[in-house]
Every structure is written in C-alpha cells, then in structure tokens.
Chains A and B, each alone.
Chain A
C-alpha cells in the first residue's frame, strides 16, 4: 500500500539521521537546517554560542572603523549589521549570487564568504564608498548606470557595480565578451543582463576618458 510505504520510508530516514534521535518514538532535537549558513569554517549555530567577540579595526571606505566581531562572522554581516552599511546585499549568503560583492584591496569578492577577521589591515570598499564623499560625484560605473538606466529591482545592483568597478579599474578596454565573463559571478534574477552589459561598456568608455 503506497501510503503505508511512504510513512515507513520517512521513519527509516529520520531514525537514521544522526542528529535526530528517535523522532518517531520519543521526540528529539530536529534540525530545521533553515537558519544562517554556518559559514566557511563550518561552525554551527549551537556551537558558536560559546565564541566571543573581539574588538578589531577595519579599514572601510577609507575610514578606520572599530567593531566587535565574532571569530566566524562574515564580512557581509559585519558591514550590514554592525557598521550599518546595508548597501551590501545578501541574496544567498553562500557564494551563489554576488549580491554581497565588495572590493578587498581592489579585488571583487563575495562579502558573504569571507570572514571579517581575514580583512584586517586590508582596504574594504563597499557600494557606499564609491561616491565622492565631498562632492557627491558618482563613480564612473555609477554614472554609466545612470546614463543607461541600468537594472530593474536593483537588488543585484550593488554587487554588479562593485564587480564592474574592479573590472574597469583593471581593464578599461574591456570588450563586451570580456565584460560578460568578468561579471559572470553575479546573478540578476530580473535578467537585465543585456542592459547591464551596456552599462559595463559605457563604464569602460567613461573610465577611458577620465
């Protein structure tokens, strides 16, 4: 009987899984596995309870910022929840989408997949750091996006803009094909890819004329 069989299958599965002990008979700890990703060091939430924060200095957008950081804390979390730099987005928290992209010493990296402690002494740039703080002038990439009306919902935009920034800094003569490759670590669910590439080419053009 199909119904009974499916129940039996479940029983086997859940009694086998080591972190669930005897769900059916006695009740047990169930992992919903739904919460924050353990992070690259694989720490689980229950074990991090005992870990302690340490006060460190970060160099973010040209400023020294003093902040208490857990050993396993990701840069994206520190930026968003401790430094109130919420321009860096979390789309997946697991190196799948690029919404969290920031620059570390000018190189684009996923902020969700790098530990805050790893960037001590390094130059961190976020989307908030691209505008000229004094004049409000946009960076060439931001200006290019304004010119071309880039993005739809724009949740991916900060990440893309950071990747584009690294790209044009490295090679202002980038071709459309190369730009696609350089930006392929970022995902746009609205799939505004065509316009994003047009923005990238405009950014390269502006970068060349600076």
Chain B
C-alpha cells in the first residue's frame, strides 16, 4: 500500500481523494447504465439454486428417521430438549398430569420467583419481581408469559451448563481461547433471524429448534465472560498460590473461580437477557409464548395486542435484568456478611423465605384460585384499547410530522441509496465495493468484498440484497449521526452521562422484537418503520462506544488544546473526534451489525427484500429454498460488512496510534 501511494505524510489525504473519485465515478456510470444488469427477481420467482435448496431440505426431511446422524444423534438431542421444555411447561405454564392447570399455579410461581429475587438479590427487586409476575396475570397473558419463561429458563440452564465449563476452559487454555473466539464472533455477528430456518431442518419446528436457536444466541456471553473472569485473576495472586504449592484444581476452585464469580454472574445476566430476546423471536418457528402473540399481532397490524404482549416482554426483561444485576452486586458483598451472628440470622431468613415459597406452591397446587389467575381483573383489554387509541390518535394527529420525517428520510436518503445500489449493474457495484474496501480497509477486506459479491450473485438474490443493504446503510448512517451527537455529549459531560446511561442500558436489555411495536404504531407498515426500529435498537451500543472513545482521549491532549485557546467546537472537531476515531469506527461496525439484524426482522412489517424472503420461506413451502438462500445472503452481507468495518477500525486505530 505504502509503496504504490505517495510519500507517507500524504497518504491519508490521497486516500480520501481516491475514495471520493471512486464514488464520483460510480455516480457517473450509474447515470449511464441505470437499470442494466440489476438481476431483479420477483417475490415468487425462484432460481435453480433455490429449487435445489428446497430439494435438499426435502431430502433431509425424508431421511430424518433413517439417517444415522439423525437417528443416533440429532434426534436424541431434539427429544431431550423437547422433553425438558415440556417438563418445565408442565410445571408452570401448560395443563399437565391430567390436571386442567399446570402443576404450579400463578401464586406458587410468583412466590418462588419472589423468594429467589429476595435471596439472591434484595428486598427491592423482590417487590419488583412480585409486581412483575402479578402484572403478567393482570395483562391477561399469564400462560403466554410462563411459556416464554419456560423456554427462556430451559435455554439459559442448558447454555450455562455448556457455556460455563467451556468458558473456564477458554480461560485456562490460550489455544482453546484462540479457537473459540472467532466462533463466538461469528455466532454473535450472525443476525439472529437467519439460523432459525436451517435449525428447523434439523430439529423440526417446535421447542427444540427454538431452544437451540436461543442457545446459539445466548451462549456467547456466558463463555466470554467466564473466560474473561478466569483470565483476569491477578497474576500476583496466582503466583502466591502457586508458591504455596496448589494443584491445578485447587488453583481453579479456590482462587480463580471465586475471584471470577462476579464476572460470571454478569455473564449469566447477559445470557438471560439474550435468551429472552431470542425466545421471543423464535416465535417465527412456532415457539410458544409472548413472542407468538406479538408476531401474530404484527402480521395483522393489530397494534393494541402487540403492545400489550410487548409490554409483558418488557416487564419480564426488566425483572430478569434487575434481579440478576442485583445478584451480581450481591456477590461482591455476600462474603462480607461474615460474622457468625449475622450468619445465623441470614440462615434463619433463608429458611423462612423458602418455607413461605413452599406454602405458596402448595396452595397453588391445591386450590383453583391460586392456580389460575383470576379472570376478573383484566387490565389487558384496557391496555390494548388504550394502545390502539393512542396509535390511532398519533397517526392521525402527528401525521404531518411523521410523514414529514418519513418522506424526508425516504426521499433524501433511502431512495437515492437504493437507486444507486439496486439500480447499478451488479458488476459495477462489485467493482466499487472492492475498490472502497481496498482503500478503506486493505487487501484482505477487498478480497472478502469480492467473494461476497460473487456469492450474492450466485445465491440469485443480488437485487434483494442491494435493497436490504441500502436500508441497512441508511439506518447505520442515522445511528452514527445519533451516536456521534449523543456520544460526544455524553463523553464530555458527566451529568449527561448520568442521565443518558440508564436509558441506554434499559434500551439494550429490551428484546429486539418489542421495538417494532411502538414504531409500527407511529409509522404504519413501511420500509421506514424497519429503519427507525433498527436505529432505536442499534443506537444505544453506538452511543456508548462513541462516548467511551471520547472519554478515552487523554486528558493532557484536551488540556493542551484548551490552554492553546481552542473553542469548544474546535476542541471537539480537531482533538476529541479525531483522537476517538478508533472508538467511533468500532461504534459504526457494531451499530451496523445490530442494524442489519433488525432490518431483517423489519421484513415482518413491510421492509421487504431479504427479510421478507426469509419470512416467506417460513410460511410457504415452495419458497423454502429461497428463504434458506436469503438467510445465507444475510450472513454474507453481515460478514462482508463486519470484516470491512473491523479492518477499517483497526487501520484507524493503528494510524491514530502512530501519530
């Protein structure tokens, strides 16, 4: 790179000139070639490859009960998981054992949950838990909520059973860590949406697929944070233990694990939140629970019902998050309740709480009033009607504003982007993509871009991919505008940070699905809805990363510039933003991944293109192969974008470090 371009000092400007030149050339050629070789494919049209994918799926279906891999491996996993989920459902959500109600009724579940919250967290989260669980009943969604909870808890239990040992291994072994890290990266960059369809091929539609999909999404944080916790044991402590002659097992049990406990609990928190998020999305493959209610309502554009169920999901997310966060804080102080007197008190308290929970469980097992949530107090219908009314009112009253915003963004950004990407000949876009990747991210990224373009064409979904890409890029642009504005503000002011951070934290704990609901209420079903949902979903992470980058700028640099008489604006534009470049690029790459996964979910509410292809593949048998191909196309898009962004981020970080 250095050899072909101008001397070192002029490298940066010359690179940005070249980038500009590439873009200009693209636009000029687009004017000439607009509409040629764009490879469009109608909604119901299939390519031979799609047909072949469909046939492949049929083959798997046909051999499920004869192929040894299925017979002796996959099917057992499926049966085991199905049985586990069904068992948990029999406990808390579905009529079972010849009873008209589950084994444990609402009072019992609420009691046990509250007791757990009290014992592992504190009084405050216990109250929150009780209120939260009661509200599921009040919203008229007890059974759905328990189904979601059953699925989430099963997936979490299995994820932890697999993830924590793997995390310990990755924490102890550098080699295993090197192997597992890229796998986890891949699992986390893949938009959640796309592995649902392939999974149903192996595990059929139902709880097993839903659980495995949830595990794929929820395991990475458990592994990562466990490994991180194990790794960050202070070397001095380890050395001291070793000098005393500990065995490997003792060092793990008595030193590393206790010291990593808090980090591991944070990992458990993230695993639970991810599992809840995915358990709702798994409604697409017929997972029972709240997600299904939301999905059905989204498909019929029934904002009220979607909002009601969305509210229950949000409440569940808040309860689970608060309880596990409190538990992780508790770990910190748990051992401090040392002295024997306090210890005895604590033991009595534990016993009393447990007894109370058992009594409630017994009551809910025996009496109908404690088993079935009383139907009288139906808050749900009020919420539904209220949300409907509010959405109707908003759409009518704010129509001028919402339409204004919608049109501004659609005409100023979305349409031009889409025209350029989807209207240019495919080979032109490919050449531009390779050239830009080369300029911004280096040779390897440009090879990835080239391979990606070829794959998209081969998958027969070039046009749809470009439409999705346009939506993704527009949403990412908006995310970055928001990210930089809010991030700089947050990074520069502690007060803003204090106000904004909890909001962003809350935003990040929400399952992706629920974002669609209020935005659907505001803007109706369009491409634009998907974009806004994606922006709302992705902004928190980007804002935080930018803020971190700004905070990371050395104090001395800021001080020197201030002493030199720089204005606030100069300080931001000439010192803080350039020095935070690596953080900002990282924010863009993370934001992009989040956006992509949400834009695809937006296929449910009219975003069309790849997202629609995937959804259609779920519901229509003959489009199955195309749905699989669309899933692959999304993965290809994700990987290519992620690689380019990462390489560009590394380059930005590197060049800012050498300056």
Is chain B found bound to chain A in the same assembly?
Answer: no
Q: Give the interface of B toward A (CB within 8 A).
A: none
